[in-house]
Amino acid sequence: MKTKVLGKEANKSNISGKSLLDIIPRKSKNIKQGIDIWNVYDFMFKDNKEVPHLKVLEIIISSNSKFIVESKSMKLYLNSFYDVVFDNKPEILKKIKNDLKSLINDDVRLRFLDKFAVEPININLNQSNIKTIKGGKIIKFNGFRSICPVTSQPDFANIYIYSSDSLSRDWLLNYLTSFKDHGDFHEQCIESIFNNILTSFDPKHLEVAGRFQRRGGIDINPVRGTHKKFLFENFREFNQ
């Protein structure tokens, strides 16, 4: 895909503000419920006394939005606030919300975070020898790898799966490992996992969450499920 600033020197670009953002059409298929949780660890702005503040910003975008935002462009856009003065935090959130909404054609939720939720109790797929994992448990796969289709660089994640019905350990392990050289965005990877588990095992209640490692101070964490109320909150394996 063509991008406005990716691969170009920032000081040679005359693009700024909302114009920095690149959008990509979604490829969502048969997804009943879903959100993308963005954690921005290095968000800086100035208060009305021109004192800088560094905060963690959470952005939640519905999987029903017409577009997703390319992550490098989101980083450049959010980094542009480092020297901007705001009277209060709601003013900042409103500005970002309006900019994103106008591009993705859907609602956006934002807040500043003081801490993440605690990682749920789980069965580690990498260590378990259970051939058939009974329903009602949360399964964790540690060591997911895929390839970014824009930069061709690897992305790494932990994958969390809740299924109301039993799942095969060997099937899951082989399937999730098969993504190691697969080129796709975080959102599409999680949707593929969700759809293939749903097709193969037909559970009544299924939820899949990707907890991707941060790149450039941002991590993207898609959640896809069969139910409107999500089990997986915005948690991290390492909660510092």
Active site residue ranges: 148, 155
29, 97, 161 from 195: Cα distances, Å: 9, 30, 12
CA torsion 82-88-90-93 (nearest 10°) is: -10
Instruction: Please classify residue 63 by burial: count the beta carbons closer than 10 Å to its beta carbon, then call 0-12 exposed, 13-18 middle and 19+ buried.
Output: buried
Cβ(205)–Cβ(166) below 8 Å: no
**Residue 180, strand partner residues:** none
Q: List, as one string, the DSSP characters of 116-139.
A: PEEPPP-EETTT---SEEPTTEEE
From start to end of 81-217, where are the E strands?
Answer: 108-113, 117-118, 123-124, 132-133, 137-147, 154-163, 167-168, 206-212
Angle CA 189–208–101, to nearest 5? 70
Angle CA 40–180–202, to nearest 5? 90
The half-sphere exposure of 108 on its side-chain side, counting CA atoms within 13 A, is 23
Q: What phi and psi values does residue 104 have, to the nearest 5 degrees? A: -95, -5
